[in-house]
Amino acid sequence: MNLIEARTKRTEWWRRDRFGMFIHWGLYAIPARGEWVRKAESMSNEDYQPYFEEFNPTAYDPAAWATVAKAAGMRYAVMTAKHHDGFCLFDSQLTDYKATNTPAQRDLLREFADAFRAAGLKVGFYYSLIDWHHPDYPHYGDRHHPLRHDEAYKGNIHHFDRYLDYMHGQVRELCSNYGKIDILWFDFSYDDMIGEKWRASELIRMVRELQPDVIIDNRLEASGENAGSIRSQNPKPYAGDFASPEQIIPPEGIVDWQGNPVPWEACITMNNSWGYSAADKNYKSAKQLIRKLVECVSKNGNMILNVGPNAKGLFPAESLQLLSTIGSWMQANGDSIYGCGRAELPKPEWGYYTQKGNKLYAHVFEPPIGPLALSGLRGKVKRARLLADGSELKLIRPWNTFDFDDYLFINFGTPEHLTHPLPDEIDTVVELELK
């Protein structure tokens, strides 16, 4: 089995599930200015240390998190085992810089994994290749390190192989000590810190030996800026199982250089921050997030939607409200998401199509003037139903449609030739059973 065939097999469940939760959480929840606060404010390890000494999320209840994720229609979740600041939510034996040494005194990652598995959700770990706490990770002159401009570090010798031994060792711990992992989400490559700079082939061999079924993102080679060789016919061994566009939905999805679909997942925040940011109230609407999930699926993609818990270990109230609304829509319309992908039809002007076998789902965002026109489907549809409640929609041809021979028409009320409100203003889903 070649790399592309193996990738297709491994990602089968993931391409069926389509919707997941990302969780960015760590010491940065205390300053509450986002997960890049160390870089943004050029903070040294000493500047950052007070957050380590007070980290104690007494309200952390991963079973409650899992309940929220499942109710929102999410099928998998990925949490930060270690972010760029180097702090570990898991009980690594290779560092003292971990949650078990804070006032929390808990392996927070293990609790997450156990709770989400118990809820029937797939479990993934995010692991940063970058580490601003480790003494052997490059400081001065690095594009991202908090001390990149600090002249005191100019000329310092960093034993990068020693850091890589540490990093590989932590990945080994994650792959050995936490049961079956469904997703391993590395982040991220940049400049010359890419591919074999991470000893990527060696790392992948180890991961595959320990977790043969785990699916891995493409960021050992790439970042949100580009997809890397996963789009080629001969991807590198560390090209990953899926591409990971960040804060964007690719205009045409992601395909290889011959036009064949490549597994991909858009990672999206609810506001503008990954880690908890108390002042960031710029939340997207539930309507926008639902419609963007539909857009991803219509382009053969997934969406992983982020939550940044606060210092107490609670999801922000705004996130809970959004997830509740998304969950209500998914409960009624999830069949148009799970197991679905691109339809072999042009994008309609009123919304999107998704398809699963002989079921074509019309996601209607904009109410038509008069009946709804479905191009190229006349004579090809056996029946139409509102997906949310199963109610019949007639296949019609009112007097004002006679000039449009190639179109199928439906409407959401009577008289059939007039305009009627959509049953769901967020996204009215019509299930069309094809002949």
**Exposed e or buried b for every residue in 290-329, given b needs 16+ CB within 10 A?**
bbbbbbbbbbbbbbbbbbbbbbebbbbeebeebbebbbbb
Helical (H) or strand (E) element with 424? none
Q: How far apart are CA 347 and CA 365, in angstroms?
A: 12
Q: Which residues make beta-bridge pairs with 380?
A: none
Query: Is 226 within 8 Å of 252 (Cβ atoms)?
Result: no
Q: Give the rounded percent of residues in the chain with a pLDDT score beyond 90.
A: 97
Residue 225 confidence (pLDDT) above 90? no
The whole-number average pLDDT for the span 173-200 is 97
- Residue linked to tokens 């769901």: 424
Compute φ and ψ for 130, nearest 5 degrees. Answer: -85, 145
Tens of pLDDT, residues 379-418: 999 999 999 999 999 999 999 999 999 999 999 999 999 9
Q: Is 242 exposed, middle or buried (0-12, 13-18, 19+ CB in 10 A)?
A: buried
Query: Is 412 within 8 Å of 394 (Cβ atoms)?
Result: no
Tens of pLDDT, residues 80-127: 999 999 999 999 999 999 999 999 999 999 999 999 999 999 999 999
Tens of pLDDT, residues 339-354: 999 999 999 999 999 9
Tens of pLDDT, residues 410-432: 999 999 999 999 999 999 999 99
The whole-number average pLDDT for the span 292-304 is 98
DSSP label at residue 164: H
Q: How far apart are CA 429 and CA 216, in angstroms?
A: 32
The whole-number average pLDDT for the span 287-301 is 98
> By three-state DSSP, how is residue 367 classified?
coil
**Exposed e or buried b for every residue in 350-374, given b needs 16+ CB within 10 A?**
bbbbbbbeebbbbbbbeebebbbbb
Q: Which two tokens stand for residue 134?
A: 């480790």
Tens of pLDDT, residues 233-279: 999 999 999 999 999 999 999 999 999 999 999 999 999 999 999 99
- What residues contact residue 219 under an 8 Å CB cut-off, 6+ apart? 129, 185, 186, 187, 188, 189, 240, 244
- What residues contact residue 265 under an 8 Å CB cut-off, 6+ apart? 20, 217, 242, 243, 244, 245, 296, 301, 302, 303, 304
- Which pLDDT score is estimated for 224? 81
Name the average pLDDT for the chain. 97
Q: Which domains can be identified in the chain, with CATH numbers?
A: 3-336 (3.20.20.80), 351-434 (2.60.40.1180)
Q: How far apart are CA 419 and CA 370, in angstroms?
A: 4
Query: Is 20 within 8 Å of 330 (Cβ atoms)?
Result: no
CA 366 to chain centre: 27
- Residue linked to tokens 């969950």: 327
Q: How far apart are CA 178 and CA 180, in angstroms?
A: 7
Q: Which position has the higher pLDDT, 138 or 223?
A: 138
From residue 170, how far is each of 177, 225, 415 by CA, in Å? 10, 26, 66
